[in-house]
Structure 1
Amino acid sequence: MSFVSKNKVTLLSLISTILYFLFAYFLERTAFYELTFLWVFLFGCFYLLMKKNTLSFTNLASISILFRLIFLFSIPNLSQDFYRFIWDGRMILEGFNPYLSLPETFIQQGFYPISDASELYHGMGELNGSHYTNYPPLNQLCFLIAALFSSKSIFGSVIILRLLIILADIGILYFGKKLLENLNLPVKNIFWYALNPFVIIELTGNLHFESVMIFFLIWGLYKLQQQKWILAAILIACSISIKLIPLLFLPLFYQWFVKGGILANNIKQPVDEKEIIVIKTPLKKWISAFTEMKKLLLFYAITLGTTALFFLPFYTSKLITNYKSSVSLWFTEFEFNASFYYLFRAIGFLFRGWNEIVLIGKITTILTILFIITISLFRKNITLVQLITALLFGLCFYYFTATTVHPWYLATPIVLSVFTKYKFPIVWSLVIILSYQGYSNFPWKENLWLVAIEYFVVFSFLIYEIKKIRVTKLTI
């Protein structure tokens, strides 16, 4: 690295360090313009660092870890969910089942079952405290670890939770690099995730556990690429047991198993993703198809069975009812930063005169299921890159039609895009800052014009990429 180039990297790193420090310790969520200023400048530094070809993997990894450590002693300033995390963990430590009780019930009765109960309840807010927890069992284990190490200090619990998330991101760097190498893709691609200011702020800064979910998912995909599909199934079950979202991915594994994925991935994946043809007699084809179908069904059985086992310690007759009621809120009551749903809602108001969120939520859920089944059956998902591309579009279709799209949800599309030719999730991670404008209003209110601008940019870039990639394929 030349002296001039080294100085530029040092300057970019120093500017980013200062901006992250200001973000972590001095920013209020309601200060939208200051928030946007820091966000845009951090993305500028991130882009310039990604364009420095002289930086080694070790250099970039060290910088990304340094940026995360800046947040180590900060209290999250863009989300209050961590108060519920700490509440759940301490409830388990005290012998309570977190899926069976509401925080507000204890507070209303004047019963404080854990340390800092009143402060945690007021921190999480009445909305969160009036609903049953929806965090799966391995996520609850993370909360319990924080309680074990710090059952009397909210600040101490925050540090433990943040360390778990940082360790998960280091694991993503490790297995992401290995998977990229096996797919003959540039290992630097992983830093579109690891160095992304959105990821650093929303996950490490605001303590969202998408990073732990992604860690198990990427590790599972790496093992799948190695044909260790039993271990892959267990790891994907771990991912589901952190956040339920990977359940959407299960149908998409069909072609990878049944139509040649195991055989196709027996060698390193070429970058151009050309289909690998295996010549077989008709009888051998039938035998092979039957064998791979058995593997697929076992893969599903192990994944779902392992997920069920994680829930077993918490199981009671009320668990399913309470958990279902909590999860259903995301489809029938909550609204935030939606795209097509807001259009459907406007049409409902126009023709019916009221909000049709329950009906629209059911329709969009059905549309998502149909879309995923369609690309599972009719889109080529034989190679691992094709499979990951299908995972990316299946998940994004769900988000494009969902009633609620919180910023931290984008972490999964971002990391999946690392292994594909698509980068629209990176652009989305920049413009999603517009969704925070609603918090600058009292009471909270979204500016739908800013939401429209956000999705206009995202869809425009997505269409541009689809056309560009299609043209590239035609010219090869």
Structure 2
Amino acid sequence: MLLNKNFITTYKIPLLLVLASMLFYWSFAYNLVRTDYIKLVTLYSALFYLFYKIVNIFKHNTKALTVFAFSFRALFILAIPNLSQDFYRFIWDGRMLFQGYNPYLNTVEYFIQNNQFPVAQAQELREGMGGLNASHFTNYPPINQLCFVIAALFANKSILGSVVVLRILIIIADFGTLHFGKKLLAKLNLPEYNIFWFILNPFIIIELTGNLHFEGVMICFLVWSLYLLYSKKWILAAIIFACSIATKLIPLLFLPLFFQWFVNNKSSNKSLILKLLKLTAFYSIVLATTVLLFVPFYSSEFINNYSKTVALWFSNFEFNASLYYVAREIGYAFRGYNEIAIIGKVSSLLVVIFVLIITFFRKNKTFVQLISAMLIALSFYYFTATTVHPWYLAMLLILSVFTKYKFPLVWSFVIILSYLAYLNLNSMVKSENLWVIALEYIIVFSVFLFEIFKKKPIEHQLL
């Protein structure tokens, strides 16, 4: 047995670290509000230290690490998320679908202002999600909506019940990420325990399992797709990749990067024309599957509402940005007002140009090089974005476990500084301290630039 007498005797002190982690996770889940910043940072720092020690001690016992990872997640099962209120919108969307409504066609505020309550606990859900969320159309793609409606199916009149169902779905996705991540690491001749720098990371446990962010489901599909692609099952890989896009749109950014893997891959003896045809077929399957997943919601109103909502992330919202804040201050100095609409468009254009540059001019022939290119492209996007919520980093972290880069691991620790924005006693109001944000990014950029420009490449493992 995994936890037999010899195991306990051998790992007596390390198991105390695991027990301490469980106590800290319990406190985090049930006895913390995000405005209690000292407690938040203290607990998170302690958990991160314990996580680092546990992975290093048990790195040759992946069964034990697996048990620890999902034991920690189980502690959150009955907890209401305390660092994000987005889950209220998830529940609303799922119940709307369950009642036969298209969640993309109306805002929550539209129903409430017209004294309409189309779902159970409508007023409570509206108050929980806040006015900003309620006033905008939903931006969650179809696979997300499927998860939301599953929660409505099993818990249509209980917020806690819906939370439990959503949390179980995210934990199942983490099992998938662990399974396919280990298999991909083995194929790439990398240490299998690297996956636990993601699976056991307090950032992942708290933000995904704890606060119900569906980046975990997106990541599961992405890692599954990458494993299939490396295994030369590119048709199924394309379908699964589309499911990742249909959970969160961010994997769209990676599509151009597959060019060299298909065209310049030396393991294939096919002609250039056949390689280009396969690449075209891969892209066609991805895009066709993505479109088909959106079809059940299609209408002219849907297209208009969804495009407007997505555009808000580039032209209206600001949170935990880095280079954008510098550009914003320059705009204030020369124009006297916030130039977010212009800066957002310019940043988007720069991201497109950057992705095309690394697509055609960077060596992305091996699979590790391909995943490294994904990591660098996504990093550039986040460095120039107007909004970088903490849970966005989950994608960077999973990509990093297959590469030589550590900066996403460092960022997953210092990202806790961004929650200082909620220090105001009114937890719905964000007020960022730019000095704290500057400290966060000075640390991240320092590690990033060191890893990019140092002379001798390190081995392909995290630590």
The TM-score by the shorter chain falls in which range?
over 0.9
SS of equivalent residue, structure 1 residue 471: coil
**From 428, 447, 456, the counterpart of 1:471:** 456
- Cα shift at 1:3: 6.5
Partner of 1:352: 335
8 Å CA contact 1:256–1:262 kept in 2: the answer is no
- Cα shift at 1:237: 0.1
8 Å CA contact 2:320–2:418 kept in 1: the answer is yes
CA–CA distance in structure 1, aligned partners of residues 267 and 223 of structure 2: 18
Partner of 1:260: 265
Partner of 1:322: 305
Partner of 2:441: 455
User: Which residue identity lines up with residue 433 of structure 1 in the other structure?
Assistant: I
TM-score, reference length from structure 2: 0.95
SS of equivalent residue, structure 2 residue 57: coil
CA–CA distance in structure 2, aligned partners of residues 109 and 233 of structure 1: 43
Partner of 2:401: 418
Establish whether residue 402 from structure 1 lines up as the match of residue 388 from structure 2.
no
Partner of 2:3: none
8 Å CA contact 2:404–2:458 kept in 1: the answer is no
**From 87, 91, 100, the counterpart of 1:95:** 100
Partner of 1:268: none
Partner of 2:422: 439
Establish whether residue 226 from structure 1 lines up as the match of residue 209 from structure 2.
no
**From 193, 200, 206, the counterpart of 2:211:** 206
Establish whether residue 26 from structure 1 lines up as the match of residue 9 from structure 2.
no
In structure 2, relative to structure 1, the CA distance for the partners of 1:356 and 1:5 (3 Å cut) is farther
SS of equivalent residue, structure 1 residue 51: helix
> Superposition RMSD on alpha carbons, in Å?
1.4
8 Å CA contact 1:137–1:241 kept in 2: the answer is yes
For 1:111-146, what per-residue CA distance to the aligned partner results, in whole angstroms no more than 9, with x for missing partners?
A: 100100000011010100000000001110000000
For 1:21-54, what per-residue CA distance to the aligned partner results, in whole angstroms no more than 9, with x for missing partners?
A: 0000010011111100000000000110121156
8 Å CA contact 2:59–2:193 kept in 1: the answer is no
User: Which residue identity lines up with residue 456 of structure 1 in the other structure?
Assistant: I
For 1:199-257, what per-residue CA distance to the aligned partner results, in whole angstroms no more than 9, with x for missing partners?
A: 00000000000000000000000000011100000000000000000000000000000
**From 315, 320, 325, the counterpart of 1:337:** 320
SS of equivalent residue, structure 2 residue 300: coil
- Cα shift at 1:365: 0.2
8 Å CA contact 2:264–2:365 kept in 1: the answer is yes
Structure 1 consecutive aligned stretches of length 4 or more whose deviation exceeds 4 Å: 1-5
- Cα shift at 1:473: 7.7
Unaligned runs of 5+ in 2: 1-5
**From 5, 9, 12, the counterpart of 2:17:** 12
8 Å CA contact 1:255–1:261 kept in 2: the answer is no
For 1:64-105, what per-residue CA distance to the aligned partner results, in whole angstroms no more than 9, with x for missing partners?
A: 000001000000000000000000000001010000011001
Unaligned runs of 5+ in 1: 264-277, 279-286
8 Å CA contact 1:261–1:384 kept in 2: the answer is no
CA–CA distance in structure 2, aligned partners of residues 224 and 93 of structure 1: 35
Partner of 2:83: 78
Matches within 5 A, 1:61-460: 61-260=66-265, 263=268, 288-441=271-424, 442=426, 443-460=429-446
SS of equivalent residue, structure 2 residue 151: helix
CA–CA distance in structure 1, aligned partners of residues 453 and 275 of structure 2: 34
8 Å CA contact 2:60–2:193 kept in 1: the answer is no
In structure 2, relative to structure 1, the CA distance for the partners of 1:138 and 1:3 (3 Å cut) is closer
CA–CA distance in structure 2, aligned partners of residues 424 and 366 of structure 1: 25
CA–CA distance in structure 1, aligned partners of residues 295 and 232 of structure 2: 29
8 Å CA contact 2:29–2:79 kept in 1: the answer is yes
For 1:369-390, what per-residue CA distance to the aligned partner results, in whole angstroms no more than 9, with x for missing partners?
A: 0000000001111111110000
SS of equivalent residue, structure 2 residue 11: helix
In structure 2, relative to structure 1, the CA distance for the partners of 1:473 and 1:66 (3 Å cut) is closer
CA–CA distance in structure 2, aligned partners of residues 344 and 261 of structure 1: 43
SS of equivalent residue, structure 2 residue 392: helix
- Cα shift at 1:55: 4.5
CA–CA distance in structure 1, aligned partners of residues 30 and 410 of structure 2: 26
- Cα shift at 1:462: 1.1
Establish whether residue 58 from structure 1 lines up as the match of residue 63 from structure 2.
yes
CA–CA distance in structure 1, aligned partners of residues 184 and 222 of structure 2: 12
8 Å CA contact 2:58–2:64 kept in 1: the answer is no
User: Which residue identity lines up with residue 106 of structure 1 in the other structure?
Assistant: F
User: Which residue identity lines up with residue 168 of structure 2 in the other structure?
Assistant: L
TM-score, reference length from structure 1: 0.93
CA–CA distance in structure 2, aligned partners of residues 65 and 398 of structure 1: 31
CA–CA distance in structure 1, aligned partners of residues 321 and 59 of structure 2: 40
